[in-house]
Amino acid sequence: MNLSDLGWDPFFAQQFEPFASQGLEPARVALEHKTVYTVCGERGEVSAAVAGRLRFEAASRGSLPAVGDWVAIEPPLGEGQARIQAVLPRKSAFVRKVAGAETQEQVVVANVDTVFLVSGLDGELNPRRIERYLAVAWESGATPIVLLNKADVCEDAAASVADLEAFAPGVPALPMSAVSGVGLDALAPYLVAGRTVAFLGSSGVGKSTLINALLGAPRQEVQAVREDDRRGRHTTTRRELILLSGGALVIDTPGMRELQLWDGEDALQDTFGDVEGLAARCRFRDCAHGTEPGCAIREAIESGALDAGRLRSYLKLQRELDHLARRKDHKGRLAEKAKWKKIALQIKALPRTKRP
């Protein structure tokens, strides 16, 4: 397999130079299943595991390989596993906070050029969820595109596109149907040989069905949504890199019930540029957009120029980021304290030299 078919370019070639002299080989992570990976390179597909040194030195879970990553591997001996010795610097990474109370990052996909944020038109469009996905997508470094799937069961797909453009200005919204094939040709400009796209969204929106339509074969398992609440079932259970016949690479991902931000001050500016633009016109720099006089945001809401729900979404994500920053700072102080405690114990354990 040619590395360029997998998205290899001069950027990654330069990053790999220090590892070439060590007898290591470049490969791309195509599949992750707990602690076992499938990587693709000039040898084809091989099974691989993270080397103990890399796992020990990893600063966080985000430092370990993710689907889409380029890695330096120690080739397998015989039928054994390859060893992943290093993860090359990423061009982009869709990162979220892990589910639950733990303050830890999770790289969902890496080195993606375009993120397809998929939403189903078989129910009410959820602008707040799409805003959250857009915030993480902008922060990733990839270009976000919203795919409005299941247009075949929507009475007015054009109205849904107009609604989305109102709260996601500048982000293309493409209505389509994976079942009928209508609108799929609009994806052609993004499905270029050597480029990588990722399909992200909640369960049941049709990510795997779209990929099957692009493949022209039912490779990815799919299930129907529940009729009572239109909720999807987790069909895709792991992230996987797939090569299309035209040369583009796509990553299918499991539906995400929870998407918490990990970072994103700049992403909020991209996602809520209209809100922040209005905030800059408020009379007071520390305006809370409540009862303060001269609040441009409140005036825009009262005139109908800004949806009140959009402001609530912006403030909610801002509070989430502020809370996360405090959690990170506290975790950092604990880690620093633990490090110096360990150093003190090591010094204490050193043999004492006797004075003459």
Mean pLDDT of 62-78: 91
pLDDT at 220 (0 to 100): 54
Indicate the range of 43-47, 92-96, 318-322 predicted with least confidence: 318-322
For the purposes of burial, counting CB atoms within 10 Å of the CB of 21, is it exposed (0-12), middle (13-18) or buried (19 or more)? exposed
**Residue 328, CB half-sphere, CA atoms under 13 Å: how many?**
13
Mean pLDDT of 147-175: 87
pLDDT tens track for 102-158? 666 788 899 999 999 999 998 777 888 888 888 888 888 899 999 999 999 888 888
Report the share of the chain in percent with pLDDT over 70: 79
Higher pLDDT, 291 or 247: 247
pLDDT tens track for 227-281? 454 454 545 567 899 999 999 999 998 866 666 665 656 667 777 888 888 888 8
Whole-model pTM over 0.85: no
Q: Which of 197, 89, 62, 88 is nearest to 143 (CA)?
A: 197
Q: Parse the chain into domains and list their residue ranges.
A: 3-87, 93-252, 272-349
Higher pLDDT, 70 or 217: 70
pLDDT > 90? residue 100: no
Q: Which of 97, 135, 138, 95 is nearest to 114 (CA)?
A: 138
Which residues make beta-bridge pairs with 36?
Answer: 33, 49
pLDDT at 267 (0 to 100): 66
pLDDT at 229 (0 to 100): 45
pLDDT at 345 (0 to 100): 66
pLDDT > 80? residue 174: yes
Cβ contacts of 56 within 8 Å, gap of 6 or more = none
CB 331 within 8 A of CB 278: no
Residues in the chain: 356
* pLDDT grade for 186, boundaries at 50, 70 and 90: very high
pLDDT > 60? residue 328: no
Q: What is the mean pLDDT of the chain?
A: 83
* pLDDT grade for 98, boundaries at 50, 70 and 90: low
Homologous superfamily of the 93-252 domain (CATH): P-loop containing nucleotide triphosphate hydrolases (3.40.50.300)
* pLDDT grade for 348, boundaries at 50, 70 and 90: low
pLDDT > 80? residue 83: yes
Report the 10 Å Cβ neighbour count for 319: 10
CB 252 within 8 A of CB 220: yes
Homologous superfamily of the 272-349 domain (CATH): Probable gtpase engc; domain 3 (1.10.40.50)
Report the share of the chain in percent with pLDDT over 90: 38
* pLDDT grade for 352, boundaries at 50, 70 and 90: low
Structural fold of domain 3-87: OB fold (Dihydrolipoamide Acetyltransferase, E2P) (2.40.50)
pLDDT at 234 (0 to 100): 46
